[in-house]
Chains A and B, each alone.
Chain A
Amino acid sequence: MSREGSPQMPAGHGSGIPGPGGHGGRARIEKAHDPKGAVRRLLHYLRSQKWLLVIIIVFAAMSTILALFGPFLLGVAIDKAIKGAALRELLHVSLLMLGVYLGSWLTQIVQSVLMAKASQRAMRELRAHLFSHLQTLSLSFFDRHSHGDLMSRLTNDMDNISRVLSQNATQLFTGFLTLFGILAMMFALSPYLALGSMLVFPLMFALVAVVGKRTRKWYRGLQAKIGQLNGQLVEMYSGQRVIIAFGQQGTTLKRFDVANESVRQMGIRAQTYAMLMPPLLGILSNANIAVVAGLGGWMTLRGMASVGIIAAFIMYSRRFAQPLRQLANLYNQIQAALAGAERIFEIIDTVPEISDLPDAIELGQIAGAVVFDHVSFSYVPDVPILKDISLAVKPGQAIALVGPTGAGKTTIVNILTRFYDIDSGAISIDGVDIRGVSRDSLRQQLGIVLQSTFLFSESAMENIRYGRLDASDEEVIAAATLANADQFIRRLPYGYDTLLTERGGNLSEGQRQLMAIARAVLADPRILILDEATSSVDTRTEVSIQSALLKLMHGRTSFVIAHRLSTIRNADQVLVIDNGRVVERGNHDELIAKRGFYYRLYMSQFRGGSKQRVVSRLS
């Protein structure tokens, strides 16, 4: 999905296009369910800056009010000039104007700079909060939420909130203040002329309300269409290879054209409405100037107004439209931000399904005896994956988990590491129930080599060091050497400093497995969990991996999800799992002698099936 920072919409178009990622395929109705709650919680992140906020509000108010005096003074100055007043008086007014504008300039800068600090600090806090909360959530949460969806919350939603906090919140305040300030100034200057202007102002309000409502309606429609198009694009691009393989480019384009066309049509409607607002407001303010000039002129002839007042009114009329337009846009942006905030708080409010008990103890140095006592587990309620599993492993023993795909082998690993907590029964290490120890201390004793090796986009050195962060370079190299990884790492363009990529593009599958083994060697755990990769590497690397694994397993308790016969033969115990139950146990030879499930599995998976087929074919 969107694996790179996508540029955001410029301010003022915030209600536009949902980014790619989580929103594909569904229409997003941008409305918070509980706007007040979202606002309250957002304010929470600003609470440490309470006084800063007070200062910001004071300065914002000062700057707005000062700016409002400008046209008023302008009117005074013009009237004085027309009346032929002394230059001194004109100079005084001019200097006063200068002071007012300078004051407004200064207060506005102070206000904006402080706001930048306050809002960005709050954003950092919110992001950090979300991120660290994400780290506490168990894997089942990540099973349920796609990366695209989470990324979208962390980027698009955050961006909307940031915009509201840094700009829109003050705009909301100063906008209303300006509107009422202008009205107040107008009534102070000339109540009748102000009433005249009131002929047009309500029209402006009505225009903003009506057009704004229509715009929102069309935008919702547009979002739905865009959602459909995005969904289609996601599917198309991720299936592009299949499209090519089956030569379906033509039909794909046909489908795309339909969706593209409906976005265009809806886009024209929504955008036309949205964009009509500013010019129409401009027209109304021109109309108001006509009213002011006409009515004002008539009043001036009767001595009820003056040229200065007319000039001041003209300036005010021009200023009236801007905050009105801003406020109209704000509604959409604030709604979008609050909806985004709710999505973010939804994550923050997710209670980790697995958490340490309040009195959880730290698991110290262990010997490595593991006991499963009648353990049952299900990912989804009522769909049991493991049923009544019991096993006991002595320190230093190797246990091989064998069974068909989907039997529950990986699940055993998942519950031993407490990625998930079991439903019933107990798992203990050295006699201590693992639910009573902290997860961190538990996992520090476990070394896990997963089937697919994840590499960070950092150097080879750092990727191995991930096993133990305080390891020295020498220790890392020693671990790599033990894991038979040293040789190929040194052959990389920059040796240990070679930057690896997430998907490990510059390493082969086998080399990545060796990296994972090196990590585990460095971590030096008492208990080892190996999800043996299916035989997918070239024979030479395979030999390297085998010998590295043997070295790694030496002296440690090991759980191996085994795919290789050699591993199974070397194991102290073989646990045959089918359908979530232990169906047989013993060592390889015992199990073969039993001629039971394992024997049949072995026959089909490793020998028999093939043999029979060879025979049947040859005959």
Chain B
Amino acid sequence: MKSLRRMFGFVNPYRVKAIIALILLLGMVGADLLIPRLTQRIIDRGIAAQNMHVIASTALIMVGIALLSALFSVGNTILSVRVAQDFAADVRSAIVRKVQTFSFGSLDKLRTGKLLVRTTSDVNMVQSIVAMSLRILTRAPVWMVGSIIMLVLTSRRLSILMACFLPFIALAIILFMRKAQPLFLLVQKALDRLNGVLQENLAGMRLIKAFVRVGHEKERFDDANTKLMRKNISVMEMMAFLIPTMLLIVNLGVVGAVWFGGTSVISGRLTPGQLVASINYMSFALFPILMLAGMVGPLSAADASSARILEVLDTDADVKEKKDARSLEDVEGRVEFENVSFSYSRDGNDPVLKGINLVVKPGETVAILGATGAGKSSLIDLIPRFYDVSAGRVRIDGIDVRDIELHSLRTHIGLALQEAILFGGTIRDNICYGQPQASEEEIVAAAVAAQAHAFIIALPDGYDTKVGERGVTLSGGEKQRIAIARSLLVRPKILILDDSTSAVDVETEALLQDALDSLIAQSQHTTTRVIVAQRISTVLLADKIVVLDRGEIAATGTHADLLATSPIYQEIYRSQLGDGGAAHV
């Protein structure tokens, strides 16, 4: 329960409300506890003494107390709901704010699905425990202790009886805690396993069909399904035994009170009123156990949720801004890699880039070519500081990127990532994502250059067409072109295209490159271009082509240079463009 306890730190700002809620709760319990005593008064002083006045006045007092308790209770509810909702909103906000400080390294670890579960159902789970802790979780033990005190005050004799039951109750609780929590965990595991099988089944549906492996899949599913059933049954059986048993303990207490109390009444050592009140207190004292028994499941679930939330909150920002970081003004666009090595693991094992030295002059176009896994994306991810280098340094205009304010650094860089992610909203919203105040002309110009204008205006609502779940479905190439338009609109000093035309056909890509050339030629400032590609045709025109192979620069030069000198480049060229030289031209 350590994680859950830590999460309660988020209640701190609302502690005044929480404390008032708890005080009201005490008042409420106190009022409730008075009711049996007043019943006793009616029976002993009213009925036994044949005094109608006492009966009437006591009943009125009881009504008054009920109303008072109502008032406390409403106040408690209002406050505790507020505290819980404030808590939830704060935790959600803390998670989201934390995520906004993440760079790519943290996102690799905490993927969309994980983050989502943590921000939604996990927060919710903990929130409901916070609400309950200001209500039944506190009320139950207070009620229990209060009832025992009242029982002692009402009848010593019967409280001794009660004392005999306490060990059994304690035993039942301990047994329950010990048995229940592990069982709930097992159910959760079985459920995760079932979901895992499902997930894979859905993701691999094509393959499963292609290989006619439905039978195999059904076996896997049946296995997980049956296990889940068994675990569910075992938890439910335990609850099926424990809850009636606890109820039985309460009822045995009542029977005991009836017998011992009854004999005491007969022998005159107990008044009838005391007997009735005692029986009430006894069931008061024992009922909270039942309530608490129902809380074990939610409590352990909330603790697990807390741990998951804290995992996000405890994640250190992988890329930190220095306190004295400077902002970039008037960028020329010179990019330098100096002895750069990079590894995704913190200990520097399995480096994906080794000893990279590269200078990109302002206005130059550099293409990075190489196989998947050669380190192309890793290399360009270091420029906007999505990751930090493991060794060496990356400099822009001579300044180490780690000395630059992150926001300032990234606003000078336009980037189209490999996977073109578009947001919900219109195509226009998407294009001007990085520059919300862009004019219509600018948006259209960017789209034209990205070879996106033609297909956009062919869409039903043109630039106002909605994309995403309920909007039109765009092809991979179309999405990529919108993403490129988006990166052009910010008028970057450094434009990075990370294999962002992979789904665009070669002819369109050629047009795009030409358009890009003229767009850049027209603009007032130079733009340095870094293009990652797998197709030779994409990189042909670059001022400099860098061939990456397994994390190292294998060759650098123009197309002609490399074709003459680099065996790897020749190989790539042959495999893509054929070996027949000018045979058919």
Contacts and interface: CB of A to CB of B under 8 A. Distances in A.
A519 B211 contact: yes
Interface residues of A, number: 172
Interface in A559-575: 564-566, 569
Nearest to B239: A112
B510 A294 contact: no
B128 A4 contact: no
B43 A537 contact: no
Interface stretch (B168-176, B244-252, B323-331): B244-252
Contact of B35 (A132, A147, A230, A286): A286
A244 B47 CA distance: 78
A261 B84 CA distance: 13
Nearest to A592: B584
Give me the 8 closest cross-chain CB pairs, A-B, nearest first: A294-B59, A538-B371, A112-B240, A290-B62, A116-B236, A279-B73, A297-B55, A3-B113
Nearest to A96: B255
B85 interface: yes
Interface stretch (B441-449, B458-466, B573-581): B573-581
Contacts of A365: none
A283 B262 CA distance: 30
Interface stretch (A187-195, A248-256, A330-338, A471-479): A248-256
26 contacts: A2-B116, A6-B120, A9-B128, A70-B254, A93-B258, A97-B251, A97-B255, A105-B251, A124-B229, A166-B236, A233-B120, A237-B112, A241-B107, A245-B415, A267-B81, A282-B73, A287-B67, A290-B59, A293-B59, A307-B273, A310-B42, A419-B206, A509-B372, A539-B575, A565-B578, A607-B578
A81 B70 contact: no
Given A280-B73, A538-B373, A301 B436 contact: no
Interface stretch (A13-21, A173-181, A547-555, A579-587): A13-21
B236 A443 contact: no
Interface string B278-293: 0110010000000000
Interface in A394-427: 404-406, 417, 419
A431 interface: no
A477 to B, nearest CB: 19
B124 interface: yes
A2 B252 contact: no
Contacts of B555: none
A98 B255 contact: yes
Interface string B370-388: 1111100000000010100
A383 interface: no
Nearest to B436: A251
Contact of B572 (A8, A263, A289, A539): A539
A235 B96 CA distance: 13
Interface stretch (B159-167, B395-403, B417-425): B417-425
B88 A101 contact: no
Contacts of A249: 100-101
A446 B206 CA distance: 13
Given A1-B112, A2-B113, A242-B421, A294 B58 contact: yes
For the complex, would chain A's binding face be called helix, strand, loop or mixed by DSSP majority?
helix
A41 interface: no
B46 to A, nearest CB: 5
B96 A253 contact: yes
Interface in B531-583: 534-537, 540-541, 549-550, 559-560, 568, 571-572, 575-578
Given A20-B120, A25-B469, A314 B280 contact: yes
Contacts of B438: none
B457 interface: no
A456 interface: yes
B336 interface: no
Given A245-B384, A604-B507, A20 B121 contact: yes
B203 interface: yes
Nearest to B97: A253
Which of A127, A131, A235, A535 gathers the greatest number of chain B CB atoms within 10 Å? Answer: A131
A5 interface: yes
A4 B258 contact: no
B198 to A, nearest CB: 6
Contact of B240 (A97, A113, A466, A602): A113
Contacts of B540: 610, 613-614, 617
Interface stretch (A42-50, A82-90, A480-488): A82-90
Contacts of B272: 78, 81-82, 307
Contacts of B89: 260-261, 263-264, 267
A469 B107 contact: no
A450 B205 CA distance: 12
Contact of A237 (B56, B115, B208, B213): B115
Contacts of A257: 93
Given A3-B199, A151-B198, A291-B59, A74 B135 contact: no
Contact of B505 (A84, A405, A592): A405
Contacts of A70: 251, 254
Contacts of A77: 258, 262
B583 to A, nearest CB: 9
Interface stretch (A28-36, A268-276, A384-392): A268-276
Given A6-B121, A301-B50, A535-B535, A101 B116 contact: no
A172 interface: no
Contacts of B374: 538
B236 A112 contact: yes
Given A7-B304, A537-B373, 14 more contacts: A115-B236, A147-B202, A236-B96, A271-B81, A297-B46, A298-B56, A417-B210, A446-B210, A509-B373, A538-B549, A566-B575, A602-B584, A605-B537, A618-B560
A248 B486 CA distance: 13
A465 to B, nearest CB: 10
A536 B371 CA distance: 6
Interface stretch (B6-14, B144-152, B214-222, B520-528): B214-222
B195 A155 contact: yes
Given A268-B82, A301-B47, A539-B568, A606 B505 contact: no
A150 B202 contact: yes
Contact of B103 (A128, A142, A244, A564): A244
Which of A109, A297, A519, A566 gathers the greatest number of chain B CB atoms within 10 Å? Answer: A297
Contact of A109 (B28, B121, B211, B241): B241
A610 B576 CA distance: 11
B568 A238 contact: no
A151 B35 CA distance: 51
